[in-house]
Amino acid sequence: MSDLPDLPDQREGAPHPCATPLLFGQQAAEAAFLQAFGSGRMHHAWLLSGPMGVGKATLAWRIARFLLAGDRGGMFGPPDTLDVPEDHPTVRRLRAGADGGLLVIRRGLDDKGNLRRDITVDVMRRLHGFFGLSAADGGQRVVIVDAADEMNTNAANALLKALEEPPANATLLLVAHQPSRLLPTIRSRCRDLRLSALDTQDFAQALTQAGVEGDPDTLAELSGGSVGQAVELALGGGAEIYADLVALFATLPRMDRARALRLAESMAGKGNETRFSLFLRLFDLFMARAARAGVLGPGPEAVTGEAALLARIAPHAHAAQILAELAPSLSARARHGRAVNLDPAALVLDMVLKTEEGLRPVLGQTA
């Protein structure tokens, strides 16, 4: 574990990427970096892209440890792994946040202690001072920008200047969930290192490393293969919420009002803010999976009974269109209500009852 306190970008209940010892399912990305390193033609900037929660930040920290550790050559040629022993002095310094060769650029906290919406130019200006310092450990300096697609315009321009005039022995690692949001001039100065979605075995191993309990298949379906989101779902009871939602809609065409009320009331009250946020995400996911089923047929089940339900409420493309048109309006309505502090229970009831109403042409139920 890391000696660092909880960091502002750390997911609750999961180790921070700086303290995650293993990376699963990204052998191709690691091999591509090691090949460039071994060739002696290392690019100064790397864009680590791919789906959210598949290990981009973990890979960035593994690369940083590897570069800052030094002595990376082996007796049989260039290194074939990014692994650095846990007792290495560099690893100990990084765990303590005391390695002067690393700078991490991330969203800071505002005056109320909340994460800012973006990375500001004031934070990015730390690059100038960092590159002006004498580097330790053989002159290596590493910068991690996590996430680069969270920079505002001024911060992006400040980073671009650093990319245009990189100092010697400096490596910039840009983590990006949506690289298309970056300036084309930034993307063109980086070598792309694409990370892929995790397969079932790698996903399950990553969950075990993160200390997550729960059915890996369910969490994989609900999280889209994102380990980070799976952690949030497991901690918030996301699988149970989704199962309750499926069970409720399984009572259509005449929805069980008592069951709907119990579900709605479970989202209200002090201490249930996170649960309500999770419900909104899972409701959106349910509607998207239902609409997709109307076009492609039901896919793998997230919870028991889901496939049969989706086949019934979305039997054809017209039903898919109804669901696809209904979902955004319900989502926007609920989020607006939340913003003006309306009762979460009333918002949940509104969402499920209006979905019932919208599906009447499909299910043939009259009011």
What is the tens place of the pLDDT at every residue in 193-251?
999 989 889 999 999 988 888 999 999 999 998 898 899 999 999 999 999 999 999 99
Average pLDDT on 137-161 reads: 90
pLDDT band for 2, please (50, 70, 90 cuts): very low
What pLDDT is recorded for position 75?
55
Using pLDDT thresholds of 50, 70 and 90, give the confidence band for residue 168. Answer: confident
pLDDT band at 68 (very low <50, low <70, confident <90, very high): very high
CA 165 to chain centre: 31
Nearest to 193 by CA among 6, 35, 15, 358: 35
Position 158 confidence tier, pLDDT thresholds 50, 70, 90: very high
- Kindly compute the dihedral angle of the four CA atoms of residues 229, 46, 83, 8, in this order, to the nearest 10 degrees: -40
H or E segment at 157? helix 153-164
CA-based end-to-end distance of the chain: 57
pLDDT of residue 111: 81
What is the average pLDDT across 360-364? 90
What was the pLDDT predicted at 76? 60
Report pLDDT digits (tens) over 269-287. Answer: 989 999 999 999 999 999 9
CA dihedral 179, 234, 28, 102 (to 10 degrees): 60
Q: Is the predicted pLDDT of residue 186 greater than 60, yes or no?
A: yes
- The stretch 167-172 carries a mean pLDDT of 90
Cα distance between residue 16 and residue 4, in whole Å? 9
